[in-house]
Amino acid sequence: MIMEAERQQIVDYGKKMSASGLSVGTSGNISIYDPETGYMAISPSGLGYFDTEAKDIVVMDLDGNIIDGERKPSSEHGLHTIVYKNRPEARAVVHTHSPYATTLAGMHKTLKPVHYAMMGCNVDEVPLVPYVTFGTPELAEAVGEVLRAVPDTRVVLLANHGDVCYQANLPKAFGLAENIEFTARIQWQAMCAGEAVYLTHEQMETARERSKTYGQQGK
Ligand SMILES: [Zn+2]
């Protein structure tokens, strides 16, 4: 089986995504990209995360051709390929309908630095992609436009839909999705209770600098 390790990692993180509440039902999807072959492994369409096995993960190229797999790929495969095409450093993409990030997206609000946990987004304000029907090439193109307009961002919110993020590997991309959801929740709660106070660009830069020496470096 080609990309066996990547397929298994997608299975494992799909279960995590479901258990953590980042995705409801069969919503959300995960992919991993291998730049050597130019292939992307992606979760299948409409299959529960706890019913998915490595063989159900679909391998595609970035032109949308299926290379290996029996299943239909996620309907949002175009959304994933547009990220890899616009961000050469991306190796994993996570797309969720996580409730608080989607609340902001449902209000056509951007995600703001109400907590330094969002520093992995690599921007102080996460841009919003205008509403486009799910699973369409037009949605993928709209995401591509925003990625090109905001070259540093690792995350976009999708109006009335959810969010998309990428990182250098799947554990990091999943962690980023969790931090986006946490920050969105704090922003929404602060907006409900009164007025959120946002960190400045300088404060976010200092946090990003500090994070480079935080934790178990090199692990
Ligand atoms: Zn979606």
Residue 182 domain-assigned (yes or no)? yes
Catalytic residue of the set 6, 36, 53, 76: 76
Q: Indicate if the pLDDT at residue 216 is higher than 90.
A: no
Please, which pLDDT band fits residue 92 given cuts at 50, 70 and 90? very high
Q: Looking only at Cα atoms, what is the longest distance across the chain?
A: 54
Q: What's the mean pLDDT in 149-173?
A: 98
Exposure string for 59-68, b = 16+ CB within 10 A, e = fewer:
bbebeeeeee
Please, which pLDDT band fits residue 41 given cuts at 50, 70 and 90? very high
Residue 25 domain-assigned (yes or no)? yes
At 218 the pLDDT is 55
Using the mean position of ligand 1's atoms as its centre, give its distance from the Cα of residue 178 in Å.
16
Using the mean position of ligand 1's atoms as its centre, give its distance from the Cα of residue 79 in Å.
9
Residue 74 domain-assigned (yes or no)? yes
Residue 82 domain-assigned (yes or no)? yes
Residue 217 domain-assigned (yes or no)? no
Using the mean position of ligand 1's atoms as its centre, give its distance from the Cα of residue 211 in Å.
30
The answer, as to whether pTM is greater than 0.85, is yes
Residue 153 domain-assigned (yes or no)? yes
Please, which pLDDT band fits residue 100 given cuts at 50, 70 and 90? very high
Using the mean position of ligand 1's atoms as its centre, give its distance from the Cα of residue 106 in Å.
13
- CATH code (residue 70): 3.40.225.10
Exposure string for 172-195, b = 16+ CB within 10 A, e = fewer:
bbbbbbbbbbbbbbbbbebbeeee
Q: Indicate if the pLDDT at residue 209 is higher than 70.
A: yes
**Considering Cα of 104, then 105, then 107, then 112, what sign does the dihedral take?**
positive
Mean pLDDT of the chain: 96
Q: Indicate if the pLDDT at residue 219 is higher than 70.
A: no
Q: How is residue 70 annotated by DSSP?
A: S
Number of domains in the chain: 1
Please, which pLDDT band fits residue 143 given cuts at 50, 70 and 90? very high
DSSP 123-180: SSSB-EEPP--TTSHHHHHHHHHHHHHSTT-SEEEETTTEEEEEESSHHHHHHHHHHH
Residue 39 domain-assigned (yes or no)? yes
Please, which pLDDT band fits residue 56 given cuts at 50, 70 and 90? very high
H helix intervals, 20-109: 77-86, 99-106
Residue 216 domain-assigned (yes or no)? no
At 212 the pLDDT is 87
Please, which pLDDT band fits residue 217 given cuts at 50, 70 and 90? low
Of 155, 163, 26, 193, nearest in space to 99 by CA: 163
At 215 the pLDDT is 76
Is 76 among the residues known to form the active site? yes
Alpha carbons 32 and 39: distance in angstroms, whole number: 9
Taking the alpha carbons at both ends of the chain, their separation in whole angstroms is 28
At 25 the pLDDT is 82
Using the mean position of ligand 1's atoms as its centre, give its distance from the Cα of residue 204 in Å.
29
Of 12, 4, 15, nearest in space to 59 by CA: 4
Q: What's the mean pLDDT in 154-159?
A: 98
Please, which pLDDT band fits residue 127 given cuts at 50, 70 and 90? very high
Using the mean position of ligand 1's atoms as its centre, give its distance from the Cα of residue 55 in Å.
22
Q: Which domain range does residue 49 map to? A: 4-211
